[in-house]
Amino acid sequence: MTKSNDRLNHALHNEAVCDYLEIKIDFVDWVITTAFYSALQFVSYKIFPFEVAAIGGKKTKIESLNDYHRYQSHRKLSKHELLADLVEINCNKISPDYDWLLSMSMNARYSNYQQEIEIGNKARTLMKKIKKFCIA
């Protein structure tokens, strides 16, 4: 199965925005958010596509998180929860880092946009670690 360069290009684009925002100390929330969405695209690049069992013994190709969300609709989980599960299964080494970025991104976006610069620095560091793991 072939990898999608669209995912990798999207991840690199988000990473470039994150790197740009890192020097703007007033936007730590967006450093965290763009670090997470870069990581999301990097892990998606690593994980997708893959095949799953289907009815009648045939296999179904899962091309994207949207496909997987439809395939797992009976689980009633969000796309973020499903992707975190896939990261734990397929990328266990970086799973805690991905989970931390997910949690901090949700906090920065929806609870408290005023974040400490150290959190933004950690977010970028973890994103770079995830990138290295996913495109090595």
User: Which domains, and CATH codes, for the chain?
Assistant: 5-135 (1.20.120.330)
Q: Is 50 helix (H, G, I), strand (E, B) or coil?
A: strand
The tokens for 77 are: 């989980």
Buried-state track 41-71, b at ≥16 Cβ within 10 A, e below 16 = bbbbbbbbeeeeeeeeeeeeebebbebbbee
pLDDT in tens, the chain (136 residues): 556 688 999 999 999 999 888 877 789 999 999 999 999 999 999 999 999 988 788 899 999 999 999 999 999 999 999 999 999 999 999 999 999 999 999 999 999 899 999 999 999 999 999 999 999 8
Taking residue 126's Cβ as centre, other Cβ atoms within 10 Å add up to 20
The whole-angstrom separation of Cα 129 and Cα 97 is 9
